[in-house]
Amino acid sequence: MSVAARQGQLTPTNAAFRAKRVAVVPCPALGDVTLYLHLAWIFHRSGAQVSFHSGLLVSAQAYFPWIELKDDAGLSLAQLAATHDLVVSYVNWLHRTGEAIDDVLQAPNVAYVTAKKLPRSLALDGRAVTVAGMTFAGACRPLCLQSRTGWSMVQWVDHYAREVFGLSCDEPVQVHLPTAGQATRPCVSIFPTTPEPSKNYSLHGFIRLARRLERLGWRVEFVCMPVEQAQIEAAARPFPVRSFDSIKHLMDHLAGCEVVISNDSGGGHLGSLMGLRTFTITRKRPDFVWRPGFNPHNQVIAPLLTFKVRGRHVWRPFVPLWRIPSALASRASR
């Protein structure tokens, strides 16, 4: 399968970044990486030369030829500020590079961002940045200003680029993937875990879902971290359980899939970025801000009812899981 953005005209509303050097330094988590990549794409389409500093993504350079991917090992914000016109950095890198924070904060061309809240102690919220003599007010701020608007984080990244830098781009992020072999059956990848157990739907529930999808004609595989593979294999037999040592290899796998089913996790965001149909199971609202939002074929499966017992949320029994096989029945039967 080859997934690539449609090529169109350059669509920035501000030409100030043409030929400027822009460095983007994301939060290391996979979901965040995809969102910062969306921001990098907007700068690229404005004519900027963009470097993206992510040890997680660097193995996938061939799939993002429009950007320079660099490892974040040994990252220096001060050095990036000295060699680039603009740096957009996840704020917590200030505490991770080993540099003197007060010295780094002297650089006027570094925009510090985060998902929802900047640390008050740094007094950064609303600070402007200066890029080649131009001032951009409010460049240091949370990307999401109000999580109850119904917007996705992708939309909030669009808002940040537009409101702060005057940039907009309607084209999806360009992803170059190899053409996968023709599969005998369409494939679904299920990501059953996250680093946060309270976000995880029941593994046995995912296995029941896999059996229903298999009966509909889908080929179903589970995807997990290498340390989880043996445990999930034991529970999910006979379904294949995959784990990958790099994002490149994970993307190679997903290139042969049509659907990603996951908890609220990075797997859903990556699948969405690659143009796949996604189903995200969460105890949150259907329009929660961190849902995958890179294409129109992303659906949230939220519980019909939740309540608390002794401070713990009870939600898993009330997830309308049947909506997934119902939505996929027609495709599998073709």
Closest CA to 10 of 174, 170, 165: 170
Quickly state the pLDDT bin for 9 (edges 50, 70, 90).
very low
Q: Tally Cβ neighbours within 10 Å of residue 107.
A: 16
pLDDT of 40-88, one tens digit each? 999 999 999 999 999 999 999 999 999 999 999 999 999 999 999 999 9
Q: The whole model's pTM is what?
A: 0.93
- DSSP notation for 232-246: HHHHHTTS-EE--SS
Distance, in Å, from the CA atom of 221 to the CA atom of 165, rounded to the nearest integer, reads 42
Q: Token pair 């409010």 is at which residue?
A: 138
Counting residues of the chain whose pLDDT is more than 90, the rounded percentage is 88
Q: State the Cα–Cα distance between residues 252 and 176, nearest whole angstrom.
A: 11
Judged against a pLDDT cut of 70, whether residue 14 lies above it is answered with: no
Range in 21-30, 85-94, 234-243, 325-334 with the lowest mean pLDDT: 325-334
What is the per-residue pLDDT for 179?
A: 74
Give 2's pLDDT tier (boundaries 50, 70, 90). very low
180-209: average pLDDT: 89
In the predicted model, what is the mean pLDDT of residues 262-274?
95
Nearest to 54 by CA among 40, 39, 69: 69
As a whole number, mean pLDDT of residues 154-177 equals 96
- Compute the distance between CA of residue 238 and CA of residue 302 in angstroms, rounded to an integer: 28
Comparing 138-152, 226-240, 303-317, which segment has the lowest mean pLDDT? 303-317
| DSSP, residue by residue, 184-215 | SS-EEEEE---SSGGGPPPHHHHHHHHHHHHH
Which stretch of 49-58, 247-256, 267-276, 309-318 has the lowest confidence by average pLDDT?
309-318
Q: What is the DSSP letter of 282?
A: -
Q: Which residue has the higher pLDDT, 309 or 303?
A: 303
**pLDDT above 90: residue 323:** yes
CA-based Rg of the chain, rounded to a whole angstrom? 21
DSSP 3-state percent helix, strand, coil across the chain (nearest 5): 35, 20, 45
pLDDT for the residue 177: 87
Q: What is the pLDDT of residue 7?
A: 33
Query: Quick one: pLDDT at residue 184?
Result: 65
Instruction: Please tell me the predicted confidence (pLDDT) of residue 310.
Output: 81
* Whether pLDDT at 12 is above 80: no
Length of the chain: 334
Q: Are 95 and 112 in contact (CB under 8 A)?
A: no
Residue 27 has pLDDT above 50, yes or no: yes
